[in-house]
Amino acid sequence: MKTITLKADDTFDALLTGLARNLNTTKSGVMRSAVLNYKKHVERAALGRQVREASLKVREEALEYASEFEAADADGL
């Protein structure tokens, strides 16, 4: 495993130490878990943006088709 150095003030170190103690793991374990959870959060947020963009595109296309059908209906077809 690689070693990564993190500079932390006393408050952050106390928080990290307390979390490690409560979770019965090491500070490194808490940090690994936090980074993996954050990665999942970032990926979910990106997926959410993709879904919203696709939804807006589908909505725009549906409105265009509805407009075309309304125009055809108005022509008496």
Identify the band that residue 77 occupies on the pLDDT scale cut at 50, 70 and 90: low
**CA geometry: angle at 68 spanning 64 and 72, to 5°?**
170
Per-residue confidence (pLDDT) for residue 76, from 0 to 100: 66
Q: Judge whether residue 72 has pLDDT over 90.
A: no
Per-residue confidence (pLDDT) for residue 65, from 0 to 100: 84
User: Could you read off the pLDDT of 46-69 as tens digits, one per residue?
Assistant: 999 999 999 999 999 998 888 888
pTM equals 0.69
Computed over every residue of the chain, the mean pLDDT equals 92
Q: Which residues contact 31 (CB under 8 A, 6 or more apart)?
A: 6, 16
